[in-house]
Structure 1
Amino acid sequence: MKFGWSTGTNRYLTAWKDDSDPSPGDVSFRLENVGMPQFVLRKGLETIYRSGPWNGIEFSGSYGWDSAFKQIFVYNNEELYFMNEIVNNSLVIMLTVYPSGLVQSNLLKKGVFSSNALDSTQNDRCERYGLCAANSMCKIKSSPICECLYGFVPKSPNEWEKLYWSGGCVRRTSLSCPKHPNKFLKLGRVKPPDLLQFSLNKSMSLKECRLECLKNCTCKAYANSDIHEDGSGCFMWFGDLFDIRECSKRKQQYIYIRMAATELKHNKTTKLVLITIVSSTSGMLMLGFSILCLIKKSRRKRASEFNGKDMELPMFNLTTITTATENFSPKNIIGEGGFGIVYKIFEIVMGISRGLLYLHRDSRLRIIHRDIKMSNILLDSKLNPKISDFGLARIFGEDQCERKTERVVGTYGYMSPEYVANGKYSVKSDVFSLGVLLLEIMSGRKNRTFKHPDHHHNLVGHAWLLWKEGRAMELVGDIYKPSFVEPEVLKCIHIGLLCVQKLPKDRPTMSSVVVMLSNEGMKLPQPKEPGFFVEGSSTGTDMSTSEERPLTHNEVTISVPEAR
């Protein structure tokens, strides 16, 4: 399929109005030409995603396509289009735009009902348009993922500290052009800023572009518009720099950002000090390394005495832990509840959701975990979540949507109602478990052991009661409030309630959950009554099983009278 304008026809994709209505909706994906062409995904007038402009080799912020396809880009006075030419005739590429605002490309083999995901507009949070706002960069491998460009500082440090980045960044040292000289900071491996306020001259060299930018005090950055061969053309940006993200490309497109000369002088001085320190301590480092090797050798020898088993366990004293948590500073925790200290988790929530999406859709094998719960989410040193314990997981065939078992396994409080009552499980079972997990994370309380003086509902039921009364934020205790951003917490509670809805068909898919978490201000549907919305015993305890058991009415009883 050709994307763009060819022989007088504009070719683009429009999503369905919703999952059950095939009439055109307000989500569109098209090749736009503002200065240089770039792919743009919009929901109405709102930009959700952009690829970055064509740079003569590829779209600057895209991940690229599989080697089975050859990129063809035509751009002249009569035509503007992009397409992939098939190298292997047994393969087909399918591009789908979903009502949720997700675009995904899949690689299919002819005659085989299977596909492999190639690319998506929601590969990670940094794909979300303008997530980090003005004069900042999104770096998916950093924590937090948003950071100001060099020479810039958060406009609102308090909001930035709470991971609320909409205010963006401002210059630490203002430009005093033309009184004092300005220089440029070279920035590579990034998607260039959006073309909001810019100029383009396709005939200039990079040197001419620099001189032209220096002449104009409103010019904030410049770059080659075409990096093919030695590079050519001149982009100049005016105003704030918006929607920059770090990315690794085959050939870099460098951006040159205007700076006060004092900023760059400070940067060079810092580098010089670091080089001096490293040089003077290199001998000590070599000595330390030698001692470390001897210590490790000694430990391995001691460990071999215990039947070849490594019996070493890491031990941390109170001083180390206090230092690591900045004296258990509130800025590093949300609060203290049923789980003890609960650390910051919007990034964690997103990571868990992305992990489940991979299992359900992007993995070579479609996997249903069946035991998503707090204790099965592990965090690495940078608080990146890892889904663990696949002992109860099941692999689904490509044409399977649901299975039924006579023996139910899992953890009470996280299992979906259709699984407990009828032994039916699907991807929507994991979605239900995720919803419980979201509500637990937001409240710092366990679903099964939750108690309230006014009723005997579990945590999910309590959250539903508060939601209906417009008091959802009361789910989060006062001790947490200094450390969270209210819209983010409310969104997570909202999504959690959507995930725990009673009927599987009402619950969102994991791709929809990821989109909802990624898009600020996205209108979410109202949740319906959750599963297990019945008052339990006041002495309920948390029960779990790791062994398969027959489903009997003596162990699980659900009594919800409903009219036929």
Structure 2
Amino acid sequence: MDFSLLFSVSVFCIFTFLASYTSIATDILTPNQNLTDGQTLVSSNQIFALGFVSPGNSGKRYLAIWYHKLPLTVVWVANKDNPINDSSGSLTISSNGSLFLYNSSMAVVWNTSDTVKGHSPILQLLGTGNLVVRKQAETDEGNEYIWKSFDHMSDTMLPGMKLGWNLKTHTSNYMRSWKSSEDLSDGEFTFSLDPPETPQLILRRGSTKEYRWGPFDGDRFSGGNRLRNNTLFKPIFVSTSDEIYYTYETLDSSTLVRSIVTPFGSIQYLAWRNNSRDWSMAVEINRLYCDRYGMCQNYGNCYADDPNCRCLKGFVPRSPGDWRVYDWSAGCKRRYDLNCSNGDGFVKYEGLKLPDNPVLWANYSIEECRAGCLQKCDCVAYTRINPLGNGSRCVVWFGELIDLRDFPNGGEELYIRMARAELDSIADNKRRRRIRLVVAITMLTPFVLLLLVILGWYIRRSKRRREEDTIKMPIANDRNGLPHYRDESQEEDLELPIFTLANIFAATDQFALGNKIGQGGFGPVYKGDLPNGVKIAVKRLSQNSGQGLREFKNEVILIAKLQHRNLVKLLGCCIQGEEKMLVYEYMPNKSLDSFLFDQMKRKLLPWKTRFNIVLGIARGLLYLHQDSRLRIIHRDLKTSNILLDSEMKPKISDFGIARIFGGEQTEEKTRRVIGTYGYMSPEYAMSGHFSVKSDVFSFGVIVLEIISGRKNWGFYDPDHDYNLIGHTWKLWNEERSLELADGMLNGSFSANEVIRCIQVALLCVQQKTEERPMMSTVVFMLSNENVELPQPKEPGFVSESSATKINSSWSCRDSNTDNEITCTTVEGR
């Protein structure tokens, strides 16, 4: 089983105490005192405590700092690599200011070497969580301390901690993950600010860079926008002659915020929620595909949409065949090689995350920076930024450029060295465009303009008709036997890999039964392995499938245009003879229904995971309805169409019957109703009317199924004949809503959060479409626990009998999945 099933993305470790704790009623320890296991120091503001803890059932004892009045959340550990095996630990401070931690045999298991002679030092736990050694006469936090725990970070960064460099001592302060929630020794991941000359935030696994943001440009770390756009904390970068560091401060002093590096390499900012009594993830800065270091390799530019990797203009893939199957490991190369003695020049690129390995030069102007770079044959790029926050400087790059990313809003300018042949090609293209423009303006008369309008209308109409009838077949094969596909009917060039039937046969072992991972209404789904190691899921349409060429083409076009972390990614397709197949990214945890309605696997869905799934589905739907370039109605949203990745994050799939809405269109009627009983909205099932509110209804049903672990269609209760919607409505009116919660949760959930989800679900399944909320409102209601929600009104389809009163002209067929019927109207020609 994947480790991520047991370790939530926003997990915090709960530690058990092996002894009863007593505070020594102060925040100070003096040289004539010992802090023994079972005692604590508590900060004067009662927020933090210092004492001994054991993680889980390990039995290991650590000297640690935690939040005093919360479920025990450790923020700093002293002896993380040398735990004590019993409750004999004792902490002392010597007369010269050194700290010593002893075990039962009085052996030193941890100590500090900072000393001060001739004074009476004391140890104090400050209200910020900083454990300090100071002179006894000093009282305020502005004094220079002898030793500070803030200078020796663990896996946690608290507000005020400094991630960076002390230039006087030539030392750095960085975060390091734990090995696990029960082993607090050094883990694989470190998060640091380096180098000090061109500061970048870097997450490493061992010595390997996993993620990078930077360099700092005077306003933010290049590519690190998520550190800016939040309402909880303010990121701060400081550069002086003595130190260079990154820190942050909370915008509301009453809110507890902490940042952690998890044992799995996720960098998260967590906020404490008093209502639900747990930590919620406010920001995860390394969550997107393009966040990972060097995804597109040399001169490859990573994009949020599909395909993720594209070569910079003037560069081409080193291995075109590999790029067509989404293998970008070879990167890109120049179209024309540089020749330092033959007139190299520079081309300006905009909207980029700056590449790795920047080198700081003098305070040159942009012209001087260009000239200096041009004189050095190995200088390949330059720009001018403010890397130290004290004025713009010339920054250059040597060698090949790596870890680039597209940032159309808020990216940087970068001037990249190009060969004379490339510069001439660019100039020729500009010249030809100017000539064409002049000729066109000269020749255009009102008559010609009218003719062009008519011609344009005719061409567009013809394209639309062709789109309804066919998909183009591959036009060429590459050297690996993978055809190259271009659907020229799209508004912009859309390139999508076409896999031959032989490729699919090889990947799926000729559709071996052992590789079959699912069966939907349109055919089986198989797991496959490409030669480059990429795992795929192949959706093979049945010969008698109700999904014809129209739905197949619809799904190809739609998903190729959609890119969101909560939507499944389409990698390619196969059209050969009677075979029509779609190739998706492989989801190792299959579909939500395989967990939700299985007695054993449902135990692997704790409430926090379920809530994150609900929120992920909501965000995916919001993207479809509002934030994508198209307004899309899914029309068949159900738990079997929600796939789960290795981290149990949901991805919406199966867009075969989705519809695109244009402009301000909000509603449509169809005579071809295709959907699944139990999830279809009343207006869609009864009269064929569908809108974004139809998806909202389906979402509400899914939320109720996630909460209860029971299906809406086929629901049974001995006390009434209601389905799950009706049962929930009955419990709501009787103020017994918590009884809906799945018994597998064993009461381990936030009652307020469950009730809020039930209320949101009931708002979504209301009978009248105009009373259901938009998905933007749904996401807001789920994400903000302090918002007062409206009271829901009577839902639609409160019993299965009401859902089956369908127009008699419709024909229905079994979709080969339990309790799911797909209905279609009988259309006349």
Relative to the length of structure 1, the TM-score reads 0.58
1:188 to 350, 363, 370: 350
Separation in 1 of the partners of 2:318 and 2:745?
A: 48
Q: Read off the aligned partner of 2:571 and give its amino acid letter.
A: K
SS at match of 2:427: helix
1:545 aligned residue: 819
Separation in 1 of the partners of 2:387 and 2:438?
A: 37
2:200 aligned residue: 38
The verdict on how the C-alpha distance between 1:245 and 1:406 changes in structure 2, with shifts beyond 3 A counting, is closer
Superposition deviation, residue 203 in structure 1? 2.2
Superposition deviation, residue 239 in structure 1? 0.8
Contact 1:90 1:110 in 2 (8 A): no
The verdict on how the C-alpha distance between 1:543 and 1:363 changes in structure 2, with shifts beyond 3 A counting, is closer
Superposition deviation, residue 244 in structure 1? 0.6
1:344 to 551, 571, 594: 571
Identity %: 28
Deviations 1:225-279 (A, max 9, x none): 41799962111211111111111454x5311100112212211322343455466
Is residue 370 from structure 1 mapped to residue 676 from structure 2 by the alignment?
A: no
Deviations 1:391-444 (A, max 9, x none): 641169xxxxx855565769xxxxxxxxxxx98589xxxxxxxxxxxxxxxxxx
Q: Read off the aligned partner of 1:71 and give its amino acid letter.
A: P
SS at match of 1:70: strand
2:702 aligned residue: 393
Separation in 2 of the partners of 1:376 and 1:55?
A: 39
Contact 1:404 1:425 in 2 (8 A): no
Segment of structure 1 superposing worse, 73-82 or 5-14 = 5-14
Superposition deviation, residue 16 in structure 1? 2.5
1:164 aligned residue: 327
Superposition deviation, residue 334 in structure 1? 3.5
1:213 to 373, 378, 381: 373
The verdict on how the C-alpha distance between 1:153 and 1:96 changes in structure 2, with shifts beyond 3 A counting, is same
SS at match of 2:499: strand
Is residue 322 from structure 1 mapped to residue 487 from structure 2 by the alignment?
A: no
Contact 2:261 2:268 in 1 (8 A): yes
Contact 1:224 1:253 in 2 (8 A): no
Superposition deviation, residue 318 in structure 1? 8.6
Segment of structure 1 superposing worse, 129-138 or 67-76 = 67-76
Contact 2:196 2:244 in 1 (8 A): no
Deviations 1:322-376 (A, max 9, x none): 26x54897443335574148963699538999x9999528659799973336894
1:24 aligned residue: 186
| 1:281-292 matched pairs, under 5 angstroms | 289=453
Q: Read off the aligned partner of 2:198 and give its amino acid letter.
A: M
Superposition deviation, residue 163 in structure 1? 1.7
Separation in 2 of the partners of 1:285 and 1:121?
A: 51
Segment of structure 1 superposing worse, 161-170 or 92-101 = 92-101
Higher relative contact order (CA 8 A, sep 6+): 1
Q: CA RMSD in A?
A: 4.7
Superposition deviation, residue 137 in structure 1? 1.0
Separation in 2 of the partners of 1:334 and 1:175?
A: 36
Separation in 2 of the partners of 1:30 and 1:543?
A: 50
Separation in 1 of the partners of 2:204 and 2:423?
A: 38
Separation in 2 of the partners of 1:164 and 1:326?
A: 21
1:266 aligned residue: 425
The verdict on how the C-alpha distance between 1:406 and 1:348 changes in structure 2, with shifts beyond 3 A counting, is closer
The verdict on how the C-alpha distance between 1:158 and 1:290 changes in structure 2, with shifts beyond 3 A counting, is closer
Contact 2:224 2:285 in 1 (8 A): no
Separation in 2 of the partners of 1:320 and 1:405?
A: 42
Deviations 1:25-55 (A, max 9, x none): 1112122225311111111111110012111
Superposition deviation, residue 218 in structure 1? 1.0
Contact 1:51 1:62 in 2 (8 A): yes
Separation in 1 of the partners of 2:745 and 2:453?
A: 53
Is residue 82 from structure 1 mapped to residue 261 from structure 2 by the alignment?
A: no
Superposition deviation, residue 134 in structure 1? 0.8
1:460 aligned residue: none
The verdict on how the C-alpha distance between 1:229 and 1:121 changes in structure 2, with shifts beyond 3 A counting, is closer
1:120 aligned residue: 284
1:242 aligned residue: 402
Q: Read off the aligned partner of 1:14 and give its amino acid letter.
A: R
The verdict on how the C-alpha distance between 1:286 and 1:101 changes in structure 2, with shifts beyond 3 A counting, is farther
Separation in 1 of the partners of 2:451 and 2:498?
A: 39
Larger radius of gyration: 2
Q: Read off the aligned partner of 1:172 and give its amino acid letter.
A: R
The verdict on how the C-alpha distance between 1:425 and 1:370 changes in structure 2, with shifts beyond 3 A counting, is farther
Contact 2:369 2:394 in 1 (8 A): yes
1:154 to 281, 296, 317: 317
SS at match of 1:334: coil
Superposition deviation, residue 95 in structure 1? 1.6
The verdict on how the C-alpha distance between 1:212 and 1:46 changes in structure 2, with shifts beyond 3 A counting, is same
SS at match of 1:18: coil
- Structure 1: any 5+ residue segments left out of the alignment? 300-313, 383-387, 397-401, 411-421, 427-540, 548-564
Q: Read off the aligned partner of 1:268 and give its amino acid letter.
A: A
Task: State how many pairs are aligned.
Answer: 392
Separation in 2 of the partners of 1:381 and 1:369?
A: 16
Q: Read off the aligned partner of 2:471 and give its amino acid letter.
A: I
SS at match of 2:370: helix
Superposition deviation, residue 123 in structure 1? 3.2
Contact 1:116 1:364 in 2 (8 A): no
1:53 to 215, 228, 242: 215
- Structure 2: any 5+ residue segments left out of the alignment? 1-158, 485-496, 502-510, 512-523, 525-539, 542-551, 557-569, 573-581, 593-608, 621-636, 644-651, 661-694, 715-741, 747-814, 822-829
Q: Read off the aligned partner of 1:48 and give its amino acid letter.
A: E
Separation in 2 of the partners of 1:219 and 1:238?
A: 5
The verdict on how the C-alpha distance between 1:376 and 1:159 changes in structure 2, with shifts beyond 3 A counting, is closer
